[in-house]
């Protein structure tokens, strides 16, 4: 069969992904021993994969080599199997490629069989996937949020941020979301249930933040200048859970000018990364599923149709052009 896929030709500058990746075709043979062939149905767009496209060797994962297919999370159906534990016809979530098909070792790529009873398979890339795991772990474990505390979430209208806001609320916290634009702020308060939403694009953002009350837990998805504003508004003994650094992914590496506040306010800053708690995946998924089944975790999906439009979808993650989980759906 013929497989179309996005190949990494060079390191992108800024958001110029079309100049760095190109759509190619190649013949795909039978699944080698120990591997499976998956017909991708949904490809997850995740901002953290931007780091893989750089040449940084000090990141949380080594950069991907040039000349190979772009990697990402996918949901799809197994159409050929040479692995005894994975059968043709089963649906899985795994790290595959941005292509029509992914041919992978299911163990090495963390393949998870989709449990029956979840009608919307997109959920396995949202609240029941790594976005959900990351939001729960960051709020409850790294941030150690307690009922009655104030939790601030940046990029709160993105896939992980939306879930972090809702989980903090479910744990009894007061929640404040940071997003760009009035539409996203309205969405956070009216549709997601945030107690307050702050527009970082507004001229008086710093003033808004100072009036929002002291912050006990900051779930940081962006780094950059917003972190400086937050540091000045943290409560003593507050916790900052560093989930992402969207401000830095394009190479503009920043350092907080207000770093002295870490000492003055006795703050704890800790980074966390979902592969570090992959072994807790079943436990986290079960916890999240109880909220999903009860209708207590909402997730809007920003859907782009067709593999050829993948780069259009990807760019939205870095331009603020989305609300919720960005995915690419492929023809079946």
**H helices within the chain, ranges in order?**
130-136, 159-170, 182-187, 205-211, 224-231, 260-264, 281-293, 310-319
> pLDDT tens across 91-143, in order?
999 999 999 999 999 999 999 999 887 889 999 999 999 999 999 999 999 99
pLDDT, residue 60, reads 73
pLDDT of residue 251 exceeding 60, the answer is no
pLDDT of residue 225 exceeding 80, the answer is yes
pLDDT, residue 245, reads 84
Cα 79 to Cα 66: distance, rounded to the nearest angstrom: 28
**Can you tell me the mean pLDDT for 306-322?**
95
pLDDT of residue 250 exceeding 60, the answer is no
pLDDT of residue 252 exceeding 70, the answer is no
Cα 227 to Cα 225: distance, rounded to the nearest angstrom: 5
pLDDT of residue 244 exceeding 70, the answer is yes
| Total-model pTM | 0.93
> pLDDT tens across 9-63, in order?
999 999 999 999 999 999 999 999 999 999 999 999 999 899 899 988 877 778 9
Closest CA to 329 of 66, 98, 144: 98
**Can you tell me the mean pLDDT for 143-151?**
98
> pLDDT tens across 185-204, in order?
999 999 999 999 999 999 99
pLDDT of residue 6 exceeding 70, the answer is yes
**Can you tell me the mean pLDDT for 246-255?**
65
Q: Degrees (nearest 5) of the Cα angle 116, 124, 48?
A: 165
- 8-state DSSP, 142: I
Question: How does strand 174-179 pair with strand 150-153?
Answer: parallel
pLDDT, residue 116, reads 84
- 8-state DSSP, 253: -
pLDDT, residue 275, reads 84
pLDDT, residue 291, reads 97
Closest CA to 37 of 102, 92, 95: 102
Residue 74 in 3-state DSSP?
strand
pLDDT of residue 254 exceeding 80, the answer is no
pLDDT, residue 117, reads 79
Domains and CATH numbers, the chain: 2-123+300-329 (3.90.180.10), 130-275 (3.40.50.720)
């Amino acid at each position: 069969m013929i497989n179309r896929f996005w190949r990494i030709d060079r390191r992108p500058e800024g958001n110029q992904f079309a100049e760095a990746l190109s759509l190619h075709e190649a013949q795909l043979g039978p699944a080698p021993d120990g591997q499976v062939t998956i017909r991708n149905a949904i490809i997850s767009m995740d901002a953290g994969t931007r780091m893989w496209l750089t040449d940084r060797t000090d990141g949380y994962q080594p950069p991907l080599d040039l000349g190979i297919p772009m990697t990402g999370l996918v949901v799809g159906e197994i159409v050929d199997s040479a692995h005894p534990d994975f059968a043709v016809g089963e649906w899985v979530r795994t790290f595959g490629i941005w292509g029509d098909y992914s041919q992978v070792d299911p163990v090495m790529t963390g393949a998870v069989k989709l449990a029956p009873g979840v009608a919307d398979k997109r959920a396995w890339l949202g609240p029941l996937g790594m976005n959900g795991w990351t939001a729960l772990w960051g709020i409850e474990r790294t941030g150690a949020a307690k009922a009655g505390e104030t939790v601030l979430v940046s990029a709160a209208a993105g896939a992980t941020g939306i879930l972090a806001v809702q989980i903090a609320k479910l744990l009894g916290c007061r929640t404040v979301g940071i997003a760009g634009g009035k539409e996203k702020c309205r969405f956070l308060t009216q549709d997601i249930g945030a107690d307050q939403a702050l527009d970082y694009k507004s001229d008086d953002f710093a003033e808004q933040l100072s009036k929002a009350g002291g912050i006990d837990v900051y779930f940081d998805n962006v780094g950059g200048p917003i972190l400086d504003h937050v540091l000045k508004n943290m409560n003593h003994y507050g916790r900052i859970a560093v989930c992402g650094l969207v401000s830095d992914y394009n190479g503009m590496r920043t350092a907080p000018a207000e770093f002295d506040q870490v000492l003055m306010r006795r703050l704890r800053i800790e980074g966390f990364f979902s592969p570090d708690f992959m072994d807790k995946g079943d436990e986290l998924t079960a916890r999240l599923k109880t909220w999903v089944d009860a209708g207590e975790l909402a997730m809007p999906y920003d859907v782009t149709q067709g593999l050829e439009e993948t780069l259009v979808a990807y760019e939205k993650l870095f331009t603020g052009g989305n609300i919720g989980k960005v995915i690419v759906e492929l023809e079946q």
